Structures are given as structure tokens and as C-alpha cells.
């Protein structure tokens, strides 16, 4: 048990890979173990697309905001929320289909995310490393075309996998009082947790070179802490940062209409 806990607590994302191939056997272990994840109402409302083709990975790297690790990964997985397969099941039975409801969008998105989490853990358990890629939603129309995604399917996240060049760093996390509340929600406990997390991140220098560009914060002279970074991130109204295209894209796919 302690080794499982040690393993779970040793997670760090990997973005640099040696180029060593991932065997087909390991690829199948990753996806079959991902499929053991819980799935809402046993609906299996997700699909995983495995990409090994160099040209496709190169294109995806560009579409995800020029993320080099995608092109250099041995295997790139795309986790899709998928209501299309279920729509085909309904069609076969000649039943109506409620794929346009927000709740169904949530069900499918959560299913895809749970599978993704387990896929990454499995790859790590097999000695590989990887990183989740929200950048897959930067240009979702192009991604959908490239991967031949039908309506009612959208890419929730990608995942670069490979053998890491070096042991990934274990990044600090917010003190537990910031995210775990007993019995009732209260914002009293997270204030202190945020202050100490600010210090941890600042001391570790994790945000050096990753500063969110000043918009109207030119007067700010304080430390560039996690809270400064996150507040700037959340203040941004840049369509690229907010992926403002997502709502229209999802509606066009037949999702989130009700
Ligand atoms: C849904 C999701 C999307 C992410 N997208 C990206 C991404 O596009 N590019 C990237 O380099 N890291 C991405 N990450 C990785 C996070 O930046 C990383 O998990 C976080 O900084 C914590 O670091 P750690 O995973 O090493 O502990 C993503 C993580 C999640 C959960």
C-alpha cells in the first residue's frame, strides 16, 4: 500500500522525451487500464484517439500552440467526450436522443477526464512520463477535422507520452486546508493556504519566465506569486487565453444547446 501511495504522490508532468518507442503492448495496457476508470451510468461517453504518425503529431503540436513535446512524444493520446457512439445506439433502436443537454456534456467531459487521469498514471507506472494538453482546445475545429471527429464528439484534452529524459519534478501543491473542507464550505481556511502556497511557488521559482503579460497591472511592484499569476490569468479577456471559440464550437457539434 505504501508504495502505491508513494507512487501517487510522486506525480510530475514530463515534457521532454528520449524518443524511445512505446511498444504496442504498453500502449494497449495504457488504454485498457484507462478504460477501467469509473464511467457515469456505465455510458462510456468518451473515446481515446492514439496518434503515432509523425506528420499528425507535428500538426497537432502546431494546433495546440506550438507545444514541442507533442511532436517529440512517442504516443499522443486525445481524450474526447463522445456522445456520438451513444447517438448511434439510440438511432439503432429508433429512440430520440438527448445529447444536446448540458448534463450530458458534463457526463461525457468527466468520463473523458477520468480516463485521461488513469492513462497518465498507468504510463507513469510503466516507467513512462507525460503531460496533459489542454492546448488541444486552442484550435478545436482544425483538430476535429484532422482526427475526423464526428458531431457530438469534442477533444477534452490531449496527452503527450514517452520515456522522460529525466525524472520529472514534483511540484508543490497548495496546502491541504486550501482545497479540503470539513462538513461545510468556508473561505476562512483557504486564505492562509494561499499565502503559504504563494511563498512556496515563489521560493521554488516556478513562475520565472512564465509571467502573464501586464495588461493593466503595470503599477504592480510586488512579488510575482501564484496568486498574482492566477489573478492575472483569470483577469485576462484575451480570446486566446479564454478559448472564447469553445462555446460556438461545442454548439456547432450539437453539444451544450440546452
Ligand atoms: C486538463 C489539463 C490540461 C493541461 N494542459 C497543459 C498544456 O496544454 N501544456 C502543458 O505544458 N501542460 C499542461 N497541463 C499540465 C499542468 O500545467 C500541470 O499539471 C500543472 O502545472 C501541475 O504540474 P505537475 O503536473 O507537474 O504537478 C495541463 C494539465 C491539465 C490537468
* Rounded-to-integer distance, Cα 208 and Cα 201, Å: 10
pLDDT tens per residue, range 87-106 = 999 999 999 999 999 999 99
Domain boundary among 167, 192, 216: 167
Task: Tell whether the model's pLDDT for residue 216 goes beyond 70.
Answer: no
User: Structurally, how many domains does the chain consist of?
Assistant: 2
Which of the 8 DSSP states describes residue 44?
A: -
**For 205, which DSSP code?**
T
Whether residues 17 and 129 share a domain: the answer is yes
Handedness of CA 145, 110, 171, 33 (dihedral sign): negative
Whole-number pLDDT of residue 236:
85
Collapsing DSSP to helix, strand or coil, 239 comes out as helix
Instruction: Give residue-wise pLDDT tens across range 43-72.
Output: 999 999 999 999 999 999 999 999 999 999
Q: What is the pLDDT of residue 237?
A: 86
110: containing domain: 2-167
Do residues 219 and 100 both lie within one domain? no
Find out whether the beta carbon of 122 lies less than 6 Å from any atom of ligand 1: no
Average pLDDT over residues 12-28: 98
Separation of 47 CA from ligand 1 center, angstroms? 20
pLDDT above 80 for 220: no
Cβ of 134 less than 6 Å from ligand 1: yes
149 secondary structure, DSSP code: P
Q: CB 64: neighbour CB atoms within 10 A? A: 23
**In terms of domains, do 82 and 191 share one?**
no
Reported as a pLDDT band with limits 50, 70 and 90, residue 214 is: low
On whether residue 243 sits in a domain, the answer given is no
- Asked if residue 140 has its Cβ within 6 Å of ligand 1, the reply is no
Residue 125: inside a domain: yes
Lowest mean pLDDT among 57-61, 183-187, 212-216: 212-216
What is the band of 218 on the pLDDT scale with cuts at 50, 70, 90?
low
Last residue of a domain, one of 167, 197, 227: 167
Instruction: Output the pLDDT for position 4.
Output: 94
In this structure, what C-alpha cell is assigned to residue 20? 524511445
Q: 9 and 130, same structural domain?
A: yes
Based on the fold, state whether residues 13 and 75 are members of the same structural domain.
yes
Q: In terms of pLDDT, which residue wins out, 202 or 145?
A: 145
**132 C-alpha to center of ligand 1: Å?**
5
pLDDT of residue 46: 98
The strand order across the sheet containing 46-51 reads 46-51, 75-82, 153-162, 129-133
b/e map 183-209, b = 16+ CB within 10 Å:
eeeeeebbeebbeebbebbbeeeebee
Q: Does 254 reside within a domain?
A: no
Q: Are residues 12 and 128 in the same domain?
A: yes
Amino acid at each position: 500500500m505504501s508504495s502505491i501511495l508513494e507512487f501517487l504522490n510522486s506525480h510530475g508532468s514530463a515534457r521532454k522525451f528520449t524518443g524511445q518507442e512505446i511498444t504496442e503492448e504498453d500502449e494497449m495496457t495504457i488504454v485498457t487500464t484507462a478504460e477501467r476508470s469509473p464511467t457515469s451510468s456505465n455510458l462510456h461517453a468518451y473515446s481515446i484517439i492514439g496518434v503515432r504518425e509523425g506528420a499528425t503529431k507535428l500538426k497537432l503540436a502546431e494546433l495546440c500552440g506550438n507545444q514541442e513535446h507533442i511532436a517529440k512524444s512517442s504516443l499522443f493520446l486525445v481524450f474526447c467526450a463522445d456522445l456520438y457512439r451513444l447517438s448511434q445506439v439510440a438511432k439503432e433502436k429508433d429512440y430520440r436522443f438527448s445529447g444536446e443537454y448540458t448534463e450530458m456534456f458534463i457526463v461525457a467531459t468527466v468520463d473523458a477526464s477520468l480516463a485521461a487521469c488513469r492513462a497518465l498514471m498507468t504510463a507513469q507506472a510503466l516507467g513512462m512520463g507525460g503531460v496533459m494538453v489542454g492546448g488541444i482546445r486552442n484550435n478545436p475545429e482544425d483538430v476535429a477535422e484532422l482526427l475526423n471527429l464526428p458531431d457530438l464528439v469534442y477533444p477534452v484534452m490531449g496527452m503527450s507520452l514517452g520515456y522522460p529524459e529525466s525524472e520529472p519534478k514534483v511540484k508543490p501543491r497548495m496546502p491541504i486546508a486550501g482545497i479540503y473542507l470539513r462538513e461545510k464550505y468556508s473561505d476562512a481556511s483557504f486564505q492562509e493556504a494561499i499565502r503559504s502556497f504563494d511563498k512556496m511557488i515563489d521560493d521554488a521559482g516556478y513562475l520565472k519566465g512564465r509571467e502573464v503579460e501586464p495588461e493593466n497591472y503595470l503599477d504592480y511592484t510586488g512579488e510575482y506569486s501564484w496568486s498574482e499569476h492566477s489573478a492575472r490569468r483569470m483577469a485576462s479577456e484575451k480570446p486566446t487565453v479564454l478559448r472564447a471559440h469553445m462555446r460556438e464550437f461545442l454548439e456547432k457539434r450539437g453539444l451544450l444547446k440546452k
